[in-house]
Structure 1
Amino acid sequence: MTDPASTAVPATAARIRPLTARLVRDQAGDGLASLLLDAVAGGASVGFLAPLSRADAAGWWRGVAERMERGTRRVWAAYGAGGRLVGTVSLVRAPMPNQPHRGDLVKLLVHSEARGRGLGAELLATAEAAARLAGLTLLVLDTETGGAAERLYRRVGWTPAGTVPDYALTPAGDPHPTTYYYKRL
Protein backbone atom coordinates (compact mmCIF):
# COMPACT_ATOMS: atom_id res chain seq x y z
CA MET A 1 0.00 0.00 0.00
CA THR A 2 1.29 3.46 -0.89
CA ASP A 3 1.92 5.86 1.98
CA PRO A 4 -0.56 8.76 1.42
CA ALA A 5 1.99 11.25 2.76
CA SER A 6 4.23 10.52 -0.21
CA THR A 7 1.51 10.74 -2.87
CA ALA A 8 1.47 14.06 -4.69
CA VAL A 9 -1.85 15.51 -5.82
CA PRO A 10 -2.63 18.52 -8.01
CA ALA A 11 -2.46 21.91 -6.29
CA THR A 12 -6.14 22.51 -7.06
CA ALA A 13 -7.40 19.40 -5.31
CA ALA A 14 -6.93 17.50 -2.09
CA ARG A 15 -7.00 13.75 -1.79
CA ILE A 16 -8.79 12.42 1.28
CA ARG A 17 -7.68 9.06 2.62
CA PRO A 18 -8.29 7.05 5.76
CA LEU A 19 -5.29 6.84 8.05
CA THR A 20 -4.09 3.80 9.92
CA ALA A 21 -2.85 4.00 13.48
CA ARG A 22 0.67 3.40 12.16
CA LEU A 23 0.43 6.35 9.77
CA VAL A 24 -0.90 8.59 12.53
CA ARG A 25 1.99 7.57 14.74
CA ASP A 26 4.48 8.08 11.88
CA GLN A 27 3.09 11.54 11.03
CA ALA A 28 2.39 12.67 14.61
CA GLY A 29 5.50 14.81 14.96
CA ASP A 30 5.40 16.22 11.45
CA GLY A 31 2.29 16.88 9.34
CA LEU A 32 -0.31 16.13 12.00
CA ALA A 33 1.43 18.19 14.67
CA SER A 34 1.88 21.06 12.19
CA LEU A 35 -1.83 20.98 11.35
CA LEU A 36 -2.83 21.10 15.04
CA LEU A 37 -0.28 23.86 15.76
CA ASP A 38 -1.67 25.91 12.87
CA ALA A 39 -5.23 25.55 14.19
CA VAL A 40 -4.31 26.59 17.73
CA ALA A 41 -2.11 29.47 16.54
CA GLY A 42 -5.05 30.66 14.43
CA GLY A 43 -7.32 30.79 17.46
CA ALA A 44 -9.35 27.63 16.84
CA SER A 45 -10.94 26.25 19.97
CA VAL A 46 -9.97 22.61 19.47
CA GLY A 47 -9.11 21.69 23.04
CA PHE A 48 -5.70 23.27 23.50
CA LEU A 49 -4.32 26.49 24.94
CA ALA A 50 -1.63 28.59 23.25
CA PRO A 51 1.21 28.28 23.00
CA LEU A 52 1.00 24.60 22.12
CA SER A 53 4.37 22.89 21.79
CA ARG A 54 5.17 20.56 18.91
CA ALA A 55 5.95 17.84 21.47
CA ASP A 56 2.51 18.19 23.08
CA ALA A 57 0.77 18.23 19.68
CA ALA A 58 2.68 15.11 18.60
CA GLY A 59 1.89 13.40 21.90
CA TRP A 60 -1.80 14.10 21.46
CA TRP A 61 -1.73 12.52 17.99
CA ARG A 62 0.12 9.46 19.34
CA GLY A 63 -2.77 9.09 21.81
CA VAL A 64 -5.16 9.21 18.86
CA ALA A 65 -3.21 6.32 17.29
CA GLU A 66 -3.73 4.29 20.48
CA ARG A 67 -7.49 4.91 20.37
CA MET A 68 -7.51 3.90 16.70
CA GLU A 69 -5.81 0.61 17.61
CA ARG A 70 -8.57 -0.03 20.15
CA GLY A 71 -11.12 0.51 17.37
CA THR A 72 -12.82 3.52 18.94
CA ARG A 73 -11.67 6.17 16.46
CA ARG A 74 -11.19 6.55 12.70
CA VAL A 75 -9.23 9.37 11.10
CA TRP A 76 -9.18 10.71 7.55
CA ALA A 77 -6.55 13.07 6.18
CA ALA A 78 -6.60 15.41 3.22
CA TYR A 79 -3.41 15.85 1.24
CA GLY A 80 -2.78 18.83 -1.00
CA ALA A 81 -0.03 19.85 -3.38
CA GLY A 82 3.13 17.83 -3.04
CA GLY A 83 1.45 15.38 -0.67
CA ARG A 84 1.30 17.96 2.14
CA LEU A 85 -1.22 17.16 4.87
CA VAL A 86 -3.83 19.96 4.86
CA GLY A 87 -6.78 18.60 6.84
CA THR A 88 -8.21 15.90 9.09
CA VAL A 89 -11.49 14.74 10.56
CA SER A 90 -12.19 11.93 13.03
CA LEU A 91 -15.18 9.75 13.81
CA VAL A 92 -15.54 8.37 17.33
CA ARG A 93 -18.11 5.66 18.00
CA ALA A 94 -20.30 6.26 21.06
CA PRO A 95 -18.93 4.07 23.88
CA MET A 96 -22.15 3.13 25.67
CA PRO A 97 -24.15 -0.03 24.89
CA ASN A 98 -27.36 1.96 24.42
CA GLN A 99 -25.81 4.13 21.68
CA PRO A 100 -24.55 1.75 18.97
CA HIS A 101 -26.24 3.94 16.37
CA ARG A 102 -24.35 7.15 17.27
CA GLY A 103 -20.96 8.70 16.68
CA ASP A 104 -19.13 11.97 17.30
CA LEU A 105 -17.33 13.94 14.62
CA VAL A 106 -14.25 15.51 16.16
CA LYS A 107 -11.14 17.47 15.21
CA LEU A 108 -12.18 18.75 11.81
CA LEU A 109 -8.98 20.66 11.07
CA VAL A 110 -8.16 22.47 7.83
CA HIS A 111 -4.81 24.22 7.52
CA SER A 112 -5.17 28.02 7.30
CA GLU A 113 -3.58 28.02 3.83
CA ALA A 114 -6.18 25.53 2.52
CA ARG A 115 -9.36 27.13 3.89
CA GLY A 116 -12.15 28.56 1.79
CA ARG A 117 -11.92 25.91 -0.94
CA GLY A 118 -14.53 23.42 0.26
CA LEU A 119 -12.11 21.04 1.96
CA GLY A 120 -13.94 21.13 5.30
CA ALA A 121 -17.18 20.10 3.56
CA GLU A 122 -15.35 17.30 1.71
CA LEU A 123 -13.86 15.97 4.94
CA LEU A 124 -17.28 16.06 6.61
CA ALA A 125 -18.89 14.25 3.67
CA THR A 126 -16.19 11.56 3.83
CA ALA A 127 -16.72 10.94 7.55
CA GLU A 128 -20.52 11.00 7.16
CA ALA A 129 -20.39 8.44 4.34
CA ALA A 130 -18.18 6.15 6.43
CA ALA A 131 -20.55 6.53 9.38
CA ARG A 132 -23.48 5.47 7.17
CA LEU A 133 -21.53 2.43 5.95
CA ALA A 134 -20.79 1.53 9.57
CA GLY A 135 -24.53 1.56 10.33
CA LEU A 136 -24.58 4.80 12.29
CA THR A 137 -27.75 6.86 12.01
CA LEU A 138 -26.91 9.87 14.18
CA LEU A 139 -23.81 12.04 14.42
CA VAL A 140 -23.09 14.83 16.91
CA LEU A 141 -20.37 17.44 17.24
CA ASP A 142 -19.59 20.60 19.14
CA THR A 143 -17.96 23.79 17.95
CA GLU A 144 -17.09 27.27 19.11
CA THR A 145 -20.20 29.42 18.75
CA GLY A 146 -19.98 32.04 16.02
CA GLY A 147 -16.91 30.69 14.24
CA ALA A 148 -16.35 29.73 10.62
CA ALA A 149 -16.83 26.05 11.45
CA GLU A 150 -20.33 26.77 12.71
CA ARG A 151 -21.25 28.38 9.40
CA LEU A 152 -19.91 25.30 7.58
CA TYR A 153 -21.93 22.87 9.70
CA ARG A 154 -25.15 24.79 9.10
CA ARG A 155 -24.44 25.03 5.37
CA VAL A 156 -24.01 21.25 5.00
CA GLY A 157 -27.16 20.30 6.89
CA TRP A 158 -26.23 19.98 10.55
CA THR A 159 -28.89 21.06 13.07
CA PRO A 160 -28.02 23.14 16.14
CA ALA A 161 -29.14 21.46 19.37
CA GLY A 162 -28.17 24.14 21.87
CA THR A 163 -25.46 26.42 23.17
CA VAL A 164 -23.57 26.16 26.45
CA PRO A 165 -22.11 29.47 27.70
CA ASP A 166 -18.45 29.57 28.76
CA TYR A 167 -18.08 25.89 27.85
CA ALA A 168 -14.42 26.00 26.83
CA LEU A 169 -11.49 28.36 26.75
CA THR A 170 -10.16 29.76 23.50
CA PRO A 171 -6.45 29.17 22.86
CA ALA A 172 -5.89 32.61 24.45
CA GLY A 173 -7.63 31.42 27.63
CA ASP A 174 -10.92 33.31 27.29
CA PRO A 175 -14.21 31.53 28.09
CA HIS A 176 -16.35 31.04 25.00
CA PRO A 177 -19.72 29.40 24.28
CA THR A 178 -19.97 26.11 22.43
CA THR A 179 -22.85 25.00 20.23
CA TYR A 180 -23.80 21.34 19.86
CA TYR A 181 -24.99 20.05 16.48
CA TYR A 182 -26.48 16.80 15.24
CA LYS A 183 -27.13 15.20 11.88
CA ARG A 184 -29.39 12.27 11.15
CA LEU A 185 -28.00 10.02 8.45
Structure 2
Amino acid sequence: MRSEIATAIRMLSPDDVQERISELGALLHACVHAGASINFVLPFGAHEAEAFWREIVVPGVAAGGRIVLVAERDGHIVGSVQLGIDTPPNQPHRAEVNKLMVHPDMRRRGIARSLMAAIEQEARRCGRSLLTLDTRTGDSAEPLYATLGYRTVGVIPGYCRDPFVDRLDSTTIMFKPL
Protein backbone atom coordinates (compact mmCIF):
# COMPACT_ATOMS: atom_id res chain seq x y z
CA MET A 1 0.00 0.00 0.00
CA ARG A 2 1.26 3.48 -0.90
CA SER A 3 2.00 5.98 1.82
CA GLU A 4 -0.33 8.95 1.53
CA ILE A 5 1.94 11.79 2.62
CA ALA A 6 0.43 15.18 1.85
CA THR A 7 1.65 16.96 -1.25
CA ALA A 8 2.42 20.66 -0.91
CA ILE A 9 2.33 22.82 -4.03
CA ARG A 10 4.36 26.01 -4.02
CA MET A 11 5.72 28.61 -6.38
CA LEU A 12 9.48 29.01 -6.74
CA SER A 13 11.26 32.33 -6.94
CA PRO A 14 14.36 32.65 -9.15
CA ASP A 15 16.49 32.19 -6.01
CA ASP A 16 14.50 29.08 -5.04
CA VAL A 17 15.07 27.56 -8.48
CA GLN A 18 18.78 28.35 -8.30
CA GLU A 19 19.09 26.87 -4.80
CA ARG A 20 17.33 23.68 -5.87
CA ILE A 21 18.97 23.22 -9.28
CA SER A 22 20.32 19.80 -8.35
CA GLU A 23 16.93 18.50 -7.21
CA LEU A 24 15.08 20.02 -10.17
CA GLY A 25 17.70 18.64 -12.54
CA ALA A 26 17.30 15.18 -11.01
CA LEU A 27 13.52 15.38 -11.57
CA LEU A 28 13.94 16.37 -15.22
CA HIS A 29 16.63 13.73 -15.75
CA ALA A 30 14.46 10.97 -14.24
CA CYS A 31 11.42 11.97 -16.30
CA VAL A 32 13.33 12.05 -19.60
CA HIS A 33 14.92 8.68 -18.83
CA ALA A 34 11.43 7.31 -18.11
CA GLY A 35 10.34 8.36 -21.62
CA ALA A 36 8.84 11.83 -21.12
CA SER A 37 8.76 13.84 -24.32
CA ILE A 38 9.64 17.23 -22.84
CA ASN A 39 12.15 18.55 -25.39
CA PHE A 40 15.12 16.31 -24.57
CA VAL A 41 16.43 13.07 -26.07
CA LEU A 42 18.88 10.43 -24.92
CA PRO A 43 21.70 10.54 -24.18
CA PHE A 44 20.73 13.15 -21.59
CA GLY A 45 22.99 13.79 -18.64
CA ALA A 46 22.35 15.32 -15.24
CA HIS A 47 24.51 18.34 -16.16
CA GLU A 48 22.24 19.03 -19.17
CA ALA A 49 19.16 18.80 -16.95
CA GLU A 50 20.63 21.27 -14.47
CA ALA A 51 21.70 23.58 -17.32
CA PHE A 52 18.09 23.76 -18.52
CA TRP A 53 16.95 25.06 -15.12
CA ARG A 54 19.91 27.40 -14.73
CA GLU A 55 20.03 28.85 -18.27
CA ILE A 56 16.37 28.80 -19.35
CA VAL A 57 14.13 28.66 -16.30
CA VAL A 58 15.92 30.97 -13.85
CA PRO A 59 16.14 33.87 -16.34
CA GLY A 60 12.50 33.37 -17.38
CA VAL A 61 11.28 33.44 -13.79
CA ALA A 62 13.49 36.42 -12.98
CA ALA A 63 12.11 38.33 -15.99
CA GLY A 64 8.53 37.59 -14.93
CA GLY A 65 7.66 35.58 -18.02
CA ARG A 66 7.62 32.15 -16.43
CA ILE A 67 6.01 30.72 -13.31
CA VAL A 68 7.33 27.52 -11.76
CA LEU A 69 5.32 25.42 -9.34
CA VAL A 70 6.64 22.35 -7.58
CA ALA A 71 4.97 19.54 -5.69
CA GLU A 72 6.79 18.53 -2.54
CA ARG A 73 6.38 15.51 -0.34
CA ASP A 74 8.34 15.28 2.85
CA GLY A 75 10.42 18.28 1.73
CA HIS A 76 11.47 16.71 -1.59
CA ILE A 77 10.43 17.87 -5.05
CA VAL A 78 8.34 15.14 -6.66
CA GLY A 79 6.82 17.13 -9.51
CA SER A 80 6.80 20.43 -11.34
CA VAL A 81 4.90 22.44 -13.93
CA GLN A 82 5.56 25.77 -15.62
CA LEU A 83 3.38 28.52 -17.00
CA GLY A 84 4.62 30.74 -19.79
CA ILE A 85 3.07 34.17 -19.44
CA ASP A 86 5.49 36.06 -21.71
CA THR A 87 2.96 36.38 -24.53
CA PRO A 88 2.81 38.86 -27.40
CA PRO A 89 0.87 42.12 -26.97
CA ASN A 90 -2.15 40.72 -28.83
CA GLN A 91 -2.38 37.70 -26.48
CA PRO A 92 -2.37 39.07 -22.91
CA HIS A 93 -5.28 36.77 -22.05
CA ARG A 94 -3.37 33.56 -22.87
CA ALA A 95 -0.70 31.45 -21.17
CA GLU A 96 1.06 28.22 -22.05
CA VAL A 97 1.40 25.22 -19.76
CA ASN A 98 4.85 23.63 -20.06
CA LYS A 99 6.89 20.79 -18.62
CA LEU A 100 4.40 18.99 -16.40
CA MET A 101 6.64 16.44 -14.68
CA VAL A 102 6.08 13.92 -11.92
CA HIS A 103 8.93 11.74 -10.77
CA PRO A 104 8.43 8.23 -12.18
CA ASP A 105 8.40 6.73 -8.64
CA MET A 106 5.59 9.09 -7.59
CA ARG A 107 3.14 8.75 -10.47
CA ARG A 108 -0.53 7.77 -10.16
CA ARG A 109 -0.95 9.61 -6.84
CA GLY A 110 -2.79 12.71 -8.02
CA ILE A 111 0.32 14.90 -8.14
CA ALA A 112 -0.06 15.89 -11.80
CA ARG A 113 -3.72 16.73 -11.22
CA SER A 114 -2.80 18.88 -8.18
CA LEU A 115 -0.09 20.69 -10.14
CA MET A 116 -2.49 21.41 -12.99
CA ALA A 117 -5.15 22.76 -10.63
CA ALA A 118 -2.55 25.03 -9.04
CA ILE A 119 -1.15 26.27 -12.36
CA GLU A 120 -4.68 27.09 -13.54
CA GLN A 121 -5.20 29.08 -10.34
CA GLU A 122 -1.97 30.99 -11.01
CA ALA A 123 -3.08 31.68 -14.58
CA ARG A 124 -6.34 33.15 -13.30
CA ARG A 125 -4.41 35.23 -10.76
CA CYS A 126 -2.39 36.62 -13.69
CA GLY A 127 -5.58 37.54 -15.54
CA ARG A 128 -5.30 34.74 -18.09
CA SER A 129 -8.49 33.26 -19.49
CA LEU A 130 -7.08 30.74 -21.99
CA LEU A 131 -4.46 28.04 -21.51
CA THR A 132 -2.73 26.13 -24.29
CA LEU A 133 -0.39 23.15 -24.21
CA ASP A 134 0.97 20.40 -26.36
CA THR A 135 1.64 16.79 -25.46
CA ARG A 136 3.04 13.83 -27.35
CA THR A 137 0.12 12.08 -28.98
CA GLY A 138 -0.74 8.91 -27.09
CA ASP A 139 1.17 9.79 -23.90
CA SER A 140 -0.50 9.19 -20.56
CA ALA A 141 -0.78 12.96 -20.07
CA GLU A 142 -3.16 13.33 -23.01
CA PRO A 143 -6.18 11.66 -21.32
CA LEU A 144 -5.31 13.42 -18.05
CA TYR A 145 -5.56 16.80 -19.76
CA ALA A 146 -8.88 15.77 -21.33
CA THR A 147 -10.32 14.86 -17.92
CA LEU A 148 -9.26 18.32 -16.71
CA GLY A 149 -11.30 20.00 -19.43
CA TYR A 150 -8.65 20.56 -22.09
CA ARG A 151 -9.92 20.19 -25.63
CA THR A 152 -7.95 18.91 -28.59
CA VAL A 153 -7.47 21.31 -31.47
CA GLY A 154 -5.55 18.88 -33.63
CA VAL A 155 -2.52 16.69 -34.10
CA ILE A 156 0.71 17.68 -35.82
CA PRO A 157 2.49 14.63 -37.26
CA GLY A 158 6.27 14.38 -37.09
CA TYR A 159 6.49 17.19 -34.53
CA CYS A 160 9.32 15.99 -32.28
CA ARG A 161 11.99 13.34 -31.90
CA ASP A 162 11.23 10.40 -29.67
CA PRO A 163 13.53 10.46 -26.61
CA PHE A 164 14.61 6.81 -27.10
CA VAL A 165 14.45 5.82 -30.76
CA ASP A 166 15.20 7.53 -34.05
CA ARG A 167 11.67 8.45 -35.09
CA LEU A 168 9.42 11.47 -35.13
CA ASP A 169 6.35 11.54 -32.89
CA SER A 170 3.14 13.49 -33.31
CA THR A 171 1.98 16.12 -30.84
CA THR A 172 -1.55 16.93 -29.76
CA ILE A 173 -2.39 20.61 -29.33
CA MET A 174 -4.92 21.33 -26.58
CA PHE A 175 -6.57 24.34 -24.95
CA LYS A 176 -8.80 25.20 -22.02
CA PRO A 177 -10.81 28.37 -21.43
CA LEU A 178 -10.66 29.38 -17.78
TM bracket, shorter-chain basis: over 0.9
3-state DSSP of counterpart to 2:60: helix
Alignment partner of 1:128 is 2:129: no
Q: Give structure 1 stretches of 5+ with no counterpart.
A: 1-9
Q: 4+ residue runs of structure 1 moved beyond 4 angstroms?
A: none
Aligned to 2:15: 22
Residue 11 of structure 1 deviates from its aligned partner by: 5.0
Judge conservation of contact 1:94–1:104 (CA < 8 Å) in 2. no
Map 1:81-120 to 2 at 5 A: 81=74, 83-120=75-112
Q: Deviations over 1:126-162 (max 9, x none)?
A: 0001111111000000000011000110111110111
Instruction: Name the count of aligned residue pairs.
Output: 174
SS of 1:150's equivalent in the other structure is helix
TM-score, length basis structure 2: 0.94
Q: Is residue 161 of structure 2 the alignment partner of residue 169 of structure 1? A: yes
Mapping 1:146-185, distance limit 5 Å: 146-172=138-164, 173-185=166-178
Q: Indicate the percent of aligned positions where both proteins have the same amino acid.
A: 38
CA distance in 1, matches of 2:160, 2:86: 21
* TM-score where L is the length of structure 1: 0.91
The answer to whether structure 1 residue 47 and structure 2 residue 39 are counterparts is yes
Quote the residue 1:59 is aligned against: 51
Q: Aligned residue for 1:4?
A: none
Any stretches of 5+ residues in structure 2 without a counterpart? none
Query: Match of 1:115, as an amino acid?
Result: R
Instruction: State how far apart, in whole Å, the 1-side matches of 2:133 and 2:87 are.
Output: 15
Q: Report the counterpart of residue 66 of structure 2 in structure 1.
A: 73
**Cα distance, 1:59 vs structure 2:** 0.7
The answer as to whether partners of 1:88 and 1:107 remain within 8 angstroms in 2 is yes
